[in-house]
């Protein structure tokens, strides 16, 4: 039986490892010792798995480790590490490179390495494969390495000295308890026709929603990166509409509600675009486009609009406070939410920070409350101290900004005075409550 090692136990890797543990021996590997200890103790801080589900995985025989030697006897390695961008908004492949180096140290002939991390088209074979070859001393076996057109897969001699690769892009939606990993159709691919079928069958065995076998690794990579680029562009369009309608004195949500009565109108809403996918993935595609001599116009225009929405919100809040007679320097602002999306503890690449920093630049004193976010992570990532429920009263603030649509915020009584500015970024409140919505 195949033995699977999942490399990276974050929002993507852990649910995937849990799914595979119902059918296969699975080892979850992560370089973070504290993460391994938490999981061994039955707790997942991402909340993607409940305590019961972690216990279920452990009962199935799944183990967690930060020791490479423990995964040496695996024959399938699935890489689910982050692929962020750097300060220049170029791909930061450091986690992917280090994961490939680690796997190369334990790779054996005939093994399969499957990448799930979002990358630009060509990354697996242009960046990761050479690292695996160099560290392992083995050869990469692909369709192009077959010796004759009639040979559909490597000979036993070749396989004894080589390894295979595949790419199956992750489609995890953090915090979504309905569209979980097994219920989302999976794109698969492999370096040879035979291995592509094997990889597809592997995922079919646990993905109840089914699979789509792509014709090549590069096609699968491209499919993933355009999924989020498409969403980014659509959100950028409605964000631009929000900017226009703000100047026209029209409520964007009212316009979208009216336009949405047409059967084929797409239901996108304005907002802050952050997180580890939509706010990042388009830069992987534009990076590769520039590398091959094409300057992308639409994708980058959408990114510029979305990246500047936090500044727009902060400026709008300040103007509203001025209109109500507030002195901006020293004004107290309550920010409700810091995670990148609702009902989820994930703070990675949250664009709420853009609103906070801009307000602070104006001289405002900003308090942040988020019942989902881990205070230590927020402190480490953004140098902010979260306030707890018992430590704030909405009446004490000059402005309140609803930044994230957590369910808990529906229960907070906004007992604000007439002078308090209420800005609803998410369009979550009754239209009669906020002074403005995005």
The total domain count for the chain is: 2
Would you call 33 exposed, middle or buried from its count of C-beta atoms within 10 A (0-12, 13-18, 19+)? exposed
Contacts of 28 (CB under 8 A, 6+ apart): 5, 6, 9, 13, 14, 17, 39, 62, 63, 64, 65
Query: Does residue 241 lie in a domain region?
Result: no
The reported pLDDT for the residue numbered 152 is: 52
**CA 431 vs CA 180, 401, 436: distances in Å:** 33, 14, 9
Catalytic position from the list 74, 128, 165, 277: 277
Q: What does the block give as tokens for 414? A: 């906004």
Kindly report the backbone phi and psi dihedral angles of residue 302, in degrees, each rounded to the nearest multiple of 5, phi listed first: -65, -40
Query: Does residue 246 lie in a domain region?
Result: no
Residues 45 and 159 both lie in one domain: yes
Residues 65 and 179 both lie in one domain: yes
Which residues, given as ranges, of the chain have pLDDT below 50?
146-151
> Treating both helix axes as pointing N-terminal to C-terminal, what angle do 298-307 and 281-291 enclose, rounded to 10 degrees?
140
Q: What does the block give as tokens for 111? A: 């093994």
The reported pLDDT for the residue numbered 438 is: 86
Confidence (pTM): 0.91
Name the DSSP class of 365.
Answer: E
Residues 299 and 376 both lie in one domain: yes
Compute the distance between CA of residue 159 and CA of residue 79 in angstroms, rounded to an integer.
Answer: 22
Residues 204 and 295 both lie in one domain: no
Say which residue the tokens 């995890």 belong to. Answer: 172
Element (DSSP H or E) covering residue 32: none
Residues 261 and 323 both lie in one domain: yes
Residues 211 and 265 both lie in one domain: no
Q: Tell me, what CATH number does 56's domain have?
A: 3.40.50.720
277 is catalytic: yes
Compute the distance between CA of residue 188 and CA of residue 174 in angstroms, rounded to an integer.
Answer: 21
Element (DSSP H or E) covering residue 401: strand 399-402
Query: Does residue 76 lie in a domain region?
Result: yes
Query: Does residue 129 lie in a domain region?
Result: yes
The reported pLDDT for the residue numbered 148 is: 41
Residues 210 and 279 both lie in one domain: no
Q: What does the block give as tokens for 420? A: 């308090």
Query: Does residue 244 lie in a domain region?
Result: no
Residues 294 and 194 both lie in one domain: no
The reported pLDDT for the residue numbered 364 is: 97
Query: Does residue 233 lie in a domain region?
Result: no
Residues 278 and 416 both lie in one domain: yes
Compute the distance between CA of residue 422 and CA of residue 23 in angstroms, rounded to an integer.
Answer: 51
**pLDDT, tens digit, for every residue of 341-355?**
999 999 999 999 999
Residues 126 and 79 both lie in one domain: yes
The reported pLDDT for the residue numbered 149 is: 42
What does R_g of the chain's alpha carbons equal in angstroms? Answer: 24
Residues 18 and 123 both lie in one domain: yes
What's the domain range around 122?
Answer: 4-215
**CA 142 to the chain's CA centroid:** 30
């Amino acid at each position: 039986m195949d033995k699977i090692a999942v490399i990276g136990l974050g929002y993507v890797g852990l649910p995937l490892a849990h799914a595979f543990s119902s059918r296969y021996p699975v080892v979850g590997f992560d370089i973070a010792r504290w993460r391994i200890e938490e999981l061994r103790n039955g707790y997942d801080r991402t909340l993607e798995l409940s305590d019961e589900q972690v216990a279920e995985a452990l009962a199935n025989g799944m183990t967690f480790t930060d020791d490479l030697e423990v995964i040496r006897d695996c024959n399938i390695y699935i890489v689910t590490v982050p692929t962020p961008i750097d300060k220049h908004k170029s791909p930061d492949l450091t986690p992917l490179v280090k994961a490939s180096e680690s796997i190369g140290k334990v790779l054996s002939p005939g093994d399969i390495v499957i990448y799930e991390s979002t990358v630009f088209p060509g990354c697996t074979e242009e960046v990761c494969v050479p690292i695996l070859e160099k560290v392992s001393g083995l050869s990469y076996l692909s369709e192009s390495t077959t010796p004759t057109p009639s040979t559909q897969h490597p000979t036993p001699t070749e396989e004894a000295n080589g390894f295979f690769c595949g790419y199956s892009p992750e489609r995890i939606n953090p915090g979504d308890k309905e569209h979980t990993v097994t219920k989302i159709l999976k794109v698969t691919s492999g370096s040879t026709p035979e291995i592509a079928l094997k990889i597809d069958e592997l995922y079919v065995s646990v993905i109840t929603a089914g699979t789509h076998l792509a014709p090549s690794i590069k096609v699968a990579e491209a499919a993933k990166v355009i999924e989020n680029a498409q969403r980014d562009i659509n959100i950028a369009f409605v964000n631009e509409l929000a900017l226009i309608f703000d100047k026209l004195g029209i409520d964007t949500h009212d316009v979208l509600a009216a336009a949405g009565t047409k059967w084929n109108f797409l239901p996108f809403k304005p907002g802050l675009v952050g997180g580890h996918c939509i706010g990042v993935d388009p830069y992987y595609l534009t990076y590769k486009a520039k590398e091959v001599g094409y300057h992308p116009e639409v994708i980058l225009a959408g990114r510029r609009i979305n990246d500047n929405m936090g500044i727009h919100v902060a400026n709008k809040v300040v103007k509203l406070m001025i209109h109500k007679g507030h002195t901006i320097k020293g004004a107290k602002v309550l920010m409700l939410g810091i995670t990148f999306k609702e009902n989820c503890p994930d703070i990675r690449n949250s664009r709420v920070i853009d609103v906070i920093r801009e307000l602070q630049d104006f001289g405002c004193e900003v308090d942040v409350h988020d019942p989902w976010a881990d205070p230590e992570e927020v402190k480490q990532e953004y140098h902010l101290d979260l306030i707890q429920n018992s430590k704030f009263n909405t009446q004490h603030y000059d402005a309140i900004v609803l930044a994230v649509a957590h369910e808990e915020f529906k229960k907070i009584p906004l007992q604000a005075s007439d002078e308090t500015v209420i800005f609803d970024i998410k369009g979550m409140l009754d239209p009669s409550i906020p002074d403005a919505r995005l």
